[in-house]
Amino acid sequence: MEKSVGEGTSPKAAGTPLAQRLNYLFANMHPPGAPYTNAYVAEEISSEADAYGGVTLTEQYLSMLRNAKRANPSPDVLRALAKFFGVPVGYLLGDLSESQAERVEEEVQFLVAMRDQRVRAIALRSVGLPPEVQDSLSEIICQFRRQMNLPDGPPDSGGETSGGGN
């Protein structure tokens, strides 16, 4: 059964902020198919140590970080994990404001949505259409979502307008 956008682990789940964010990334930031395993991520970072600042990780250590049994990894480990998942290191360090962290999570959800070939096809087919046609398509999608008792859509992610004046 396919997961829908937003169905992954919430970054607000139990555990330390670092464990929450790591688990969120593991649940959402992966190629189509199964999420990454601790063993896979540890091996990728360790086998490409030059690309990841010389960091080597074990599956066990990564598991301890994700289970909040270890909460103080070195900044180098956090940089390597951030690079692997393609997020700012401040997200894992906890250096981002709440709104900046939410923005990272919105971008993750966008990438999750773009993994779905059907979602990509709809988005790409709307490219080049006049704004009023794109607005009409968006409204049609909202109507279908309401008929299916789904929320109208994800929260605005900036850069989009929602029928307001220009």
Q: What angle do CA 134, 104, 163 make, to 5 degrees?
A: 25
**CATH of region 17-97, choose from 1.10.260.40, 3.40.50.300, 3.40.50.620, 3.10.129.10:** 1.10.260.40
The length of the chain, given as a count of residues: 166
pLDDT digits (tens, 9 = 90+) for 76-123: 999 999 999 999 888 888 787 788 888 888 888 887 777 777 887 888
- Residue 2, CA atoms < 13 Å, CB-side half-sphere: 9
Q: How far apart are CA 151 and CA 121, in angstroms?
A: 21
pLDDT digits (tens, 9 = 90+) for 7-34: 444 455 557 889 999 999 998 888 777 8
User: pTM, whole model, 2 decimals?
Assistant: 0.66
Task: Please list the residue range(s) of the chain that carry CATH number 1.10.260.40.
Answer: 17-97
Exposure pattern of 31-56 as b/e (b: 16+ CB <10 Å)? Answer: eeeebbebeebbeebeeeeeebeebe
Alpha carbon distance, N-terminus to C-terminus of the chain: 42
